[in-house]
Structure 1
């Protein structure tokens, strides 16, 4: 299985919004101020002191989901943490020391495939080199007025940051779809986040949910007034609306671009035969073409 270059799935709105963000007056000053105060040791200290680090021996069934994703997306394995929070969420922070955190609410809400899709999305942020700016946005927009002075983080810069963050999510949804071989699980994640109930989600009709997404798009296209009202509701959010993301990824996965990426991904070398077809780390049966043991995450080749 080949690693995928992020240039192949980078969303054009992501690239455009980042360029526009960098042109906003005050961006350079905010970046310089952020780099002066930014310390990865602060983030890492919080992670180590107040979360559970996931690894081959700590929650190995959860850890095992991560290495194959990193292989497909061509990134180094980040640190991986679980934190107590009933809200279903995952986020990535850092620069040279990057960490992914998932919340207890997300793990309780989703099944293994859906958690894999979320992790692939977060790894997409790493592959697309979003993480430093995402960390900057998270820290400056939450505490910038107090730390850096109210005049530095202008309203225009705030809105530009939010706009870029929303656009960056589309690139990472594509990364998740590439790893999951299609849009189905990614769209299920959106429906789960919208409903907030694992029990209800198991009874959700995804065809109806996608039809709802199409109806919302028609509603937006119906008038400029509707567009303005929806933009007003969205402009201070750092994620696009969930049904919009579900429809966007479904349509992209029907495109020739996605098919070409899948063809490239699965142009495999002849499978190597492992001795007795057992993982040398955990001893469980594996397939010859697995790059990582899907039971414990151990690298096989």
Structure 2
């Protein structure tokens, strides 16, 4: 089985939001202030002192989920921890010493397959090199000027950080879908997090849940007013809405790009067809060999010279 390159599943909104964040006046000053104050030793000390490290000898039934995901995504194994917290959550922090933490609430809520998808999502953050900026966002947005020692964190920077965090989650949902060979388990995780009950989640009709997600998209596109209201509801959140994520990853898994990644992963193809970019006509992802966009017909390459 081959390693999948993150460039082939990196969400275009993720890349765009990161560029916009880096270009906002004051970002470099915030980054410098954070790097001056940030200490990985503090995070590592908190991990070792207040959590349970998961290894091949400690909770091996959880540890064994991690190595195959790291192999698929081509990353070194991070440190892996269990945290006492009734809220179902997982997060990744660090820079040179990276750790994934899962909470007791997450373990109790999810079955093995669903938990694997969540860990794969966190591994996606490592593969996409999100972790330093995510750590920075978590620390800075949580403590603000107390960490930076001044008024460097403007409202615009705060919103840009949140926006990039939300967009980065879309890349990692794709990473999870690659590891799980499809969107189904990833979408189940979204429905499970929305319901908060493993017992109720077993009775959720996923087709109806996806219809609900489509209805929400139509609602958003119905008017500028609806779109603005939903933006206000979302702008200070670090994650996109759950049904939006489920629909997004389902649609991506129906693309030719996902199929080519799966063929490459299982060595059914000699090479992975990489993404050329976005179609100027419809904005959707295109592939390197396309002359015309297969969604809207827009010409992607000029005519061959005779």
Alignment TM-score, normalising by the size of structure 1: 0.88
Shift of 1:144: 1.9
SS in 1 for 2:101: strand
- Structure 1 unaligned blocks of 5 or more: 269-301
After TM superposition, give the deviation of residue 148 of structure 1 in Å: 1.6
Provide structure 2 residue ranges, at least 5 long, that are not aligned to the other structure.
Answer: 269-306
1:39-50 to structure 2, matched below 5 A, reads 39-50=39-50
The residue number in structure 1 matching 2:298 is none
- Deviation (angstroms), 1:149: 3.6
Output the CA distance in 1 between the equivalents of 2:147 and 2:73.
36
Deviations 1:25-73 (A, max 9, x none): 1100000000001110000000000000000010000000000000000
Structure 1 residue aligned with 2:14: 14
Name the structure 2 match of 1:114. Answer: 114
- Which residue in the other structure is 1:97 paired with? 97
Alpha-carbon RMSD:
1.0
- Structure 1 position 150, deviation (Å): 4.8
In structure 2, the residue matched to 1:84 is: 84
- Work out the CA distance in 2 between the residues paired with 1:34 and 1:263: 42
2:177 is aligned with 1:177:
yes
Correspondence list, 1:8-157, <5 A: 8-157=8-157
Distance in 2 (alpha carbons) for counterparts of 1:206 and 1:87: 23
Q: Are 2:130 and 2:168, in contact at CA under 8 Å, matched by a contact in 1?
A: yes
Equivalence map 1:146-295=2 (5 Å): 146-267=146-267
Query: Does the 8 Å contact 2:37/2:148 carry over to 1?
Result: no
Structure 1 SS opposite 2:55: coil
Give the equivalent residue in structure 1 for 2:293.
none
Alpha-carbon offset, residue 207 of structure 1: 0.6
Query: 1:299 maps to what in 2?
Result: none
Instruction: Give, in angstroms, the shift of residue 216 of structure 1.
Output: 0.2
* Contact kept in structure 1, 2:34 and 2:147, CA below 8 Å: no
- Tell which deviates more after alignment, 142-151 or 34-43: 142-151
- Aligned partners of 1:216 and 1:150: how far apart in 2? 40
Question: TM-score normalized by structure 2?
Answer: 0.87
In terms of mean alpha carbon deviation, does 212-221 or 148-157 score higher? Answer: 148-157
Q: Work out the CA distance in 2 between the residues paired with 1:232 and 1:92.
A: 27
Distance in 2 (CA, whole Å) between partners of 1:44 and 1:237 is: 26
Structure 1: which 4+ aligned runs deviate by more than 4 Å?
Answer: none
Partner of 1:292: none
Q: CA deviation at 1:151?
A: 1.4
